[in-house]
Copies of this chain bind each other. A is one copy, B any other.
Amino acid sequence: MEYPSLEPGQLARVQGFIENYRNKNQLKVDHMELIDPVQVAIDYADFLPTSTIPPEKLMENIEDLITEHIKYAPWKSFCRKVLNNEDIRRHLLVAPGAKTVHHAYIGGLLEHSLQVARICMSICDVYPNLDRQTLLVGAIFHDLGKAWELSGGLINDYTDEGRLLGHIQIGQEKLEPFLKRSKTLDEGLKLHLKHLIASHHGEFEFGSPTVPKTPEAFVLHYADNMDAKLNIIDQTYAEMDKTGQEWSPYVRFLERNVFRPQPTPDKTRQQHDKPENQCLLPLKG
């Protein structure tokens, strides 16, 4: 009997049994049937790596940050309208944070946005003159376009739009109608938000159409960069934990080997010493 050949991304229902052959498990297929994901309800999270904290919970955490920090009604209303837009919300709940480098899992984009937002808020505690509210809006939406730049799903690849325009422009396009409709939001604030998104890559050589020109834009750029790097290290550590190494293999994206230093002895920390979860997010009580 001939089975259909399987392409990457194709789902199939397989029936068979496991045999042990030369100390390795081998799958003997009895029956195989292609699955049309349009007809059968599929929870992709069953097949794909997902953020430790479920996307819905991450979304809730973001909404909590808005409630906590945004007091200016037009900003609050703007954020809610964007996040409650059905198309946007659906995309955000499954979007990865990148293709391969960091946060490359379901919920990755939300997790990244949340952590960047948290960093920004904590920096505002140190520099109270920063415009905390506009910065938070920028942090939450800085990578919004990534939800359309990448296809997500089983084959997480760039979309045509993603490759031909980039996530910065896609994000601006998605936010533009909401900005136009928000009559109470001052033009200066809208311009600042658009600048935060346009400049968050920080340097022209990274394809930033412009560079940070306000303190908030600098903070967003560093926060974005820092979370991406820490997420890569975190995943590298998870690999190193399997073999017990102190030094990682060469990490191409960081262009270096990563080291796990000896930690300061700390009773409070010890119970966290062997983290089971993949990401650095603090567990909520």
Contact = CB atoms under 8 A, between A and B. Distances in A.
A189 B169 CA distance: 17
A131 B259 CA distance: 13
A72 B160 CA distance: 23
Given A122-B125, A226-B222, A164 B264 contact: no
Interface in A59-84: 71-72, 75
A40 interface: no
A244 B265 CA distance: 52
Contacts of A133: 264, 266
Interface stretch (A2-10, A91-99, A205-213): A205-213
B272 A129 contact: yes
Interface string A196-235: 0011000011111111011110110010011001100110
Interface residues of A, number: 76
Contacts of A266: 71-72, 133
Nearest to A255: B211
Interface string A242-285: 00001100000000111111111110100010010000101000
A172 interface: yes
Nearest to A263: B131
Contact of A213 (B122, B128, B204, B256): B256
A156 to B, nearest CB: 15
A1 interface: no
A21 interface: no
Nearest to A167: B209
A75 B266 CA distance: 12
A166 B201 CA distance: 14
7 contacts: A127-B280, A128-B280, A163-B213, A172-B173, A188-B262, A215-B229, A222-B222
Given A128-B272, A164-B210, A165-B198, 13 more contacts: A71-B266, A72-B264, A126-B282, A128-B282, A132-B264, A163-B247, A164-B191, A169-B172, A172-B172, A186-B262, A192-B261, A214-B233, A214-B258
